[in-house]
Amino acid sequence: MAVKIGNIDVGDFPLLLAPMEDVSDPPFRALCKENGADIMYTEFISSEGLIRDAVKSTQKLDIYDFERPIGIQIFGNDINSMRKAAEICERAKPEFIDINYGCPVKKVANKGAGAGILKDIPKMVAMTKEIVDATNIPVTVKTRLGWDENSKYIVEVAEQLQDVGIKAISIHGRTRKQMYKGVADWTLIGEVKNNPNMHIPVFGNGDVDSPERTKEVKEKYGVDGVMIGRAAIGYPWVFNEIKHFLKTNKHLEKPTLKDRVIACKRHLQHSIKWKGEVLGIAEMKRHYTNYFKGIPHFKEYRIKLVTSYNLDEILATLDKVEVEFEGVRF
């Protein structure tokens, strides 16, 4: 049965690419879309930055037709600023606007934004209502189980957010206090999904890093889809691998070294197309290691890739990697 966010059909069991700071930019999203991701999110965008027209924030509004359906994700601690930011986002014509109530990092949460708002549920509900009322497109939420072990109110909170008009919720199976430590607990995610009062899609997130794990959470907790973050970094193939396994109960062949080189080159090309050669090459530097993780004695090539600003030189180095490490299995 097709899952819908508002009136938008997102498939039977959609795989969502998590919004990740300094990762989920258009070049990375392009690779993930090509490899089976169903729903995209931008990197989270500061509401204050948007209403001040800060370049770093407005640039994150760049979305492209090939990546639809896509949501623009915003964060902030001021209700008025968040409402205005949502109105700005709507003009960029995404399919939906996503509110970040899950980011655990100190500089965000300690100001009452991201997961910080989990300390003030009435404000969280009021902010959500303001954003829903201010826009004409579906509003979704990404959040966590609660602030800490003693405040895991997600079952009640999800219902309250639904009641003020959100059209889907993604839940990370950790508290803010846990950050990314320990193991994600999906029990409460399952309780949200199986709450008879819930009728919007419930997506689970946290430690979904393999086809087997995806199948397990789908069958055990009944979620409508899963959101994948860290498992996709340097490995966009994870989406198609999961889809193939869910359909056939068999594994796709793992990408070869040649596949990794091709993906890396495509990522670089997308990066240059988005930001121009100089900035595109600079922004790509943080991604090389992820594509070639596990190759022994790769340091020499990694240094060449991250220190060169010459496109031909970088492409030549990638060609050498393909030849030098041919046959390496991951």
Residues in the chain: 330
Domain residue limits, the chain: 4-248, 257-324
pTM of the model: 0.94
Q: How confident is the model at residue 239 (pLDDT cuts 50, 70, 90)?
A: very high
Torsion of CA 181, 46, 114, 64, to 10 degrees: -70
What are the catalytic residues? 103
Write down the pLDDT at residue 330: 67
Query: Which pLDDT value is given to residue 206?
Result: 95
pLDDT > 90 fraction of the chain, expressed in percent and rounded: 88
CATH of 4-248, one of 3.20.20.70, 3.30.565.10, 3.90.1170.50, 3.40.50.1970: 3.20.20.70
DSSP 255: P
Res 56: pLDDT: 77
Asked if residue 322 has pLDDT above 70, the reply is yes
Give the residue among 285, 295, 290 at the shortest CA–CA distance from 234: 290
Q: Which two tokens stand for residue 11?
A: 């498939």
pLDDT tens figures, 167-201:
999 999 999 999 989 899 999 999 999 999 999 99
Q: Give the per-residue pLDDT at 209.
A: 93
For 257-324, the fitting CATH number among 3.30.870, 1.10.10, 3.30.70, 1.10.1200 is: 1.10.1200
pLDDT digit string, tens, across residues 127-165:
999 999 999 999 999 999 999 999 999 999 999 999 999
* Residue 27 CA: distances (Å) to CA of 22, 121, 180, 226, 241: 11, 36, 25, 22, 20
